[in-house]
Amino acid sequence: MKEIVKMFYKKAKEFLRKNWWDVRYLLLFAVAFLLFRFDKFIKWIIQDTGTVADWVSGLGTVGAFFAIFWQMDKQEKMERAFKVEQSRPRFIHMFRGVLPDNTNILLDDNNFFASLGEKGYDYLKLIVNHPSYFNLLTLDNISSNTIYTCEVILTDDFEKEYYWAQNGLQQNSIIAPVPVSLINRFKNICEKQIVPDETKEKNILLHAKEIEVRFTTSSNEIGFYKLCLNNNEEKYYFINESNNNEIQASKNGKILGKNNPKIEVLNSKFDAYKSKRMRSATIPYHMLKIKILGGE
């Protein structure tokens, strides 16, 4: 019987999904019919009640049917919740002087970088290959999940914000956001033939105090990662856009409604940079290395 109910459940669910509006009108019609014919409905119940055994047997059958229905619905919600929870990313941050090969260098203004021509790659090469002068802030996706979209906002001690965007952050991959303003500063240093001051250049790169990430998982869940660099406090926020109450927050995380004030503030902050999204560029570090070696 369970297999029959399971098959009926799937077909009924598919039917309701495709014909929900029609079903809703039918239900409204049925309720209206009962209201207008309520006296005859009550009379039928009173006159044709049947025996106690009939009622017990009938209610038992209906109860068993709905128990299986409820169990299957709960199991499906739990499986979907598990899939959603398992698809979430986990980030760790690190300051690196030497970048691993699986690092993606993110630039916040590809137009400016392109205007530098080959010199742009030369300056970027100097930045990523001089650990004594530069330590780049990197974010590692340490989960085994691919992130569909990833946006990053970095705020420095002077309240200046930098924005980067990338589509498709692979599992166990690393991003190193580099503001082109740093490349421009380094360009001026090189043109004036000034020896970079180690402490000054590290501070130029990252007076960073906060980094925020908006991401979309492979389960189409939208979430945020927020890291305060002053005390290394990190938080995750996930937007609840379904009625599945089986979905739980991960460690250091909260599940909030899309109309929650915290979510609205974060979304507004990222949406303000929508026009700059197309200006972001990604340079895989292993490709930059090939270009560097080729140039040498």
pTM for the model: 0.67
Q: What is the pLDDT of residue 153?
A: 93
Nearest-angstrom CA–CA distance, 289 and 295? 10
Residues forming beta bridges with residue 106, ordered by sequence position: 177, 282
Return the C-alpha torsion angle 195, 126, 123, 133, nearest 10.
Answer: -50
Residues forming beta bridges with residue 233, ordered by sequence position: 228
Q: What is the pLDDT of residue 271?
A: 93
Tens digits of per-residue pLDDT, 195-226? 555 445 444 455 678 899 999 887 788 889 99
Instruction: Tell whether the model's pLDDT for residue 35 goes beyond 80.
Output: no
Tens digits of per-residue pLDDT, 48-93? 555 545 555 555 555 555 565 556 666 666 666 556 566 677 888 8
End-to-end alpha carbon distance in the chain: 74
Nearest-angstrom CA–CA distance, 122 and 17? 56
Tens digits of per-residue pLDDT, 160-195? 888 998 888 888 889 988 888 878 777 776 676 555
Strand (E) or helix (H) holding 139: strand 136-141
Average confidence score pLDDT of the chain: 73
Who wins on pLDDT, 146 or 197?
146
Longest Cα–Cα distance in the chain: 103
Q: What is the pLDDT of residue 213?
A: 93
Q: What is the pLDDT of residue 296?
A: 46
Nearest-angstrom CA–CA distance, 92 and 234? 9
Q: What is the pLDDT of residue 203?
A: 45
- 108-129: average pLDDT: 81
